[in-house]
Amino acid sequence: MTLDGLGPLVPARFRSDTPVVPVVRLSGIIGAVTRWRPGLTLASQAKVLDKAFGVRNARAVALLINSPGGSPAQSHLIFKRIRELAAEKKLPVLAFVEDVGASGGYMLSCAADEIFADPFSV
C-alpha cells in the first residue's frame, strides 16, 4: 500500500516537503530599560534564537525588526549570536524591517543575509 496520494491530507507540520521558516520578533528598545519594561538583551533573546534556529526542516530564519536602537553592546551581542547560529546551522537569515530599524535595530538587521524594508520604514 502506497501513501503517495495522502500528502495533502497530512497536516503541513508533519510533512517534510513544506518549507518551514521560524520567525523571531525583535521589537522595542535594545538594552535594559526598567525592571517592569525590559528591553531587548542577549539574555532575553538567547532562548528564542536557539529555538528558532533549532526548528527541524527550517529553510531559513526570519527576523521581524521594529526597534529604534539602544545599547550598542547589546545590539552587537545579539548580532553576533544570530551570525553564530546561522553559521552553525547553515541557515540563511532574512530581516524584515517594519516601522523602525534605526541605530541598533539596523545593526540587528545587518545580521541577516538579506534585508527587506518598506520604502517608508525608518
Long-range CB contact pairs, 44-47, < 8 A, 24+ = 45/78, 45/81, 46/81
Q: How far apart (Å, rounded) are the C-alpha atoms in residues 104 and 29?
A: 9
pLDDT, tens only, 59-112: 999 999 999 999 999 999 999 999 999 999 999 999 999 999 999 999 999 999
pLDDT tier, 4 (very low <50, low <70, confident <90, very high otherwise): low
pLDDT, tens only, 17-59: 678 899 999 999 999 777 777 789 999 999 999 999 999 889 9
Neighbours of 99 (CB within 10 A): 16
- Position 2 pLDDT exceeds 50: no
